[in-house]
Structure 1
C-alpha cells in the first residue's frame, strides 16, 4: 500500500468513527483528504470497499503481530497464546475499530455482512489451529467447538464488564481467566469424545503453505527484493543485508539471527512496510528453527 492511499484510509477511518459510516459520504473523504474523485475510485471501487480495506489492513497487522510473538517460541506456550489473543483487542482499541464493526453489524448491506462473516470465520479458524497447537492433534475434532466457546466467553464477559462495572477491562486478567476455563473444556471434550459442530462447518485456511513460504530460496528472493527497496531506510537495509548474509552462510548463527530479527521487525513498526517486514521475520524464524531440528 503506497503512502498516499494509506493516508486516505486513515482519513476515511477517522471520519467513519467521528460521523458514522452511514452518514459519511465519499465527498466528505475527498474534501478531508484533498484528493480528486478519480483518485479515490482508483484506490477503491466504493465506500464499502474503503471500509473493508480499513478492516482488512487491521487484520493484516493483527496477523503479523501474532506471528512476531511466535518467533523463536514454542507453539504450545499458553503465555504466547494469551498475548496473541490480546493483540486483536489492542488493535481494535488502537485503531478505533469497534464502531466500524458495529456499523457493519447493524447494516443490511449484504456485501458488508458477508465480509464480516468471513472475517469472523477466519478468526475462528485461527483460534482452532492454535487450540490444536496447545492441546495436541487429539484436540483437532473439538477445536472448532472450543474456539466458538472461547469467542462467546470473551464477548459476553466484555459486555457485562463494560456495561455493569463501568470500568476499564483488565485485559490479561480476563484472558487468563477464560483460558483456565478453556483447559477444562478442551480436556473434557477430548476425554468424553463429545462435540457439537466438529468438522461440520467449513473453516477457511488462509495459512501460506510452509514449503512455499519458508524455503531458503524463497526467503532470499523476497528479502533481496525488500532490501533493494530500502535505499532511503539505511538502518532497515543494514538489518536486511545482515539477514541475507546469514541465510546464505553455510553455518548461519541462529541465536544472533533471532536477535536481529526482532530489531528488523521493529524497525518498520507503524510504517507501510510493517506487514511485509514482520511476515519476512516470521518466515526467517521458521527457517532457522528448521535448521536446528
Structure 2
C-alpha cells in the first residue's frame, strides 16, 4: 500500500468518525485527502470499498496481535484466549471502529452489510476454533453454540454496564467470570441448540480463505527494496523471511519467533500496513500448514 492510498484511508476514517459514514461523501474524502477523483477511484470502487479496506486493515492488526500472544504459550491456556479476545476489543475501540460499524450496519446497503456480516462471522469462526483448543475436540459438535453463548453474554454485560455506570467496562473481568461458568458447564454439555443451523449458515457465508505460499513470497520480494529505505533491521528481517520461506523445509520456530520483530521494525513507517498484511498472512499460512 503506497503512502497516498494510506493517507486516503486515514482521512476517510477520520471523516467517518467525525461526520458519520452516511454524511461523508466521496467528494469530502477527495478534498480532505487532497487528491483527484481519478486517484480515489484508482484505489477504491466506492465509499463502501474504502470502508471495507479500513475494516480489513483492522482485522489484520488484530490477528497479528492475537498470534503474538500465543508465542511460547499453550493453545489450551484459557488465560491466553482471554487476552486475545481483550486485545481485539481494545484495538477496535482504540480505532473507534466498533461504533462506526454499528452505525454503518443500520444504514449501509446490502453489499456493505454483507461485508460486515462476513467480518463478524470470521470473528465467530476464530473464537469457535480457539474454544476447541481450550476445551478439546469433544466440544467440536457444539463449538458454535458455545461461541454464541460467550459472545451474547459478553455483549449483554457490556450493555448493562453502560446503562448503570460511567466507568469503563472491565472486559477482562467479565471474561474471567464467563469462562469460570463455561468450565462448570462443559462436562454437562452434550448437545447444541442450533448446531446444524449454525454450521449451515457459516458454510453459506464464510468462504474458505486459502493462503498461497507464492503470494507471500511475492509480497516479501516486493517489500525488500522498500525495507532497505527503512532500516538495516527491517531489510535483514525481510530478507531472512524471504530466504527461509523459499526453503522446502523452513524453520517454522524461527519464523514465528521473529514475526513480531519484523512487523515492529516497520512501525510508524510508510510501509506499516504492508508489513502487517504480510505478518497476518504468514501467521495464517503457518497455522494452516504446520499446526
TM-score by length of 1: 0.82
Q: Distance in 2 between matches of 1:119 and 1:227?
A: 31
> Which residue does 2:233 correspond to in 1?
235
SS at match of 2:193: coil
| Closer, same or farther: CA 22–286 of 1 in aligned 2, 3 Å | closer
Q: Distance in 2 between matches of 1:141 and 1:3?
A: 46
In the alignment, which residue of structure 1 is the partner of 2:38? 38
Query: What SS does the aligned partner of 1:273 have?
Result: helix
Aligned residue for 1:268? 266
1:240, CA displacement in angstroms?
3.1
Q: Residue 60 of structure 2 contacts residue 276 of structure 2 at CA under 8 Å; is this kept in 1?
A: yes
Q: What SS class does the counterpart of residue 273 from structure 2 fall into?
A: coil
CA distance in 2, matches of 1:287, 1:130: 14
**1:195 aligns to what SS in structure 2?**
coil
Paired positions, count: 282
Q: Residue 228 of structure 1: CA displacement?
A: 4.7
Deviation at 1:144, TM superposition (A): 0.3
**CA deviation after TM superposition for structure 1 residue 136, in Å:** 1.1
RMSD: 3.1
Q: CA deviation at 1:129?
A: 0.8
Unpaired segments ≥5 residues, structure 2: none
Per the TM alignment, residue 66 of structure 1 is displaced from its structure 2 partner at its CA by 1.6
Within 5 Å, which residues of 2 pair with 1:6-45? 6-45=6-45
Q: Which residue is equivalent to 1:177?
A: 177
Whether 1:132 aligns to 2:129 is: no
For structure 1, the 5+ residue unaligned runs are none
On the 8 A contact 1:62/1:91 being kept in 2, the answer is yes
Give yes or no for contact 1:223–1:244 (8 Å, CA) kept in 2. Answer: yes
CA distance 1:197–1:93, change in 2 (3 Å): same
Aligned 8 A contact 1:72 1:289 in 2: no
**Secondary structure at 1:166's aligned position in 2?**
coil
Deviation, structure 1 residue 184: 2.7
Change (3 A) 1:242 1:160: same
Deviation digits for residues 138-173 of structure 1, max 9, x if unmatched?
110010000111110111111111221111122321
Of 99-108 and 38-47, the range deviating more from structure 2: 99-108
Instruction: Report the counterpart of residue 64 of structure 1 in structure 2.
Output: 64
Q: TM-score normalised to the size of structure 2? A: 0.83
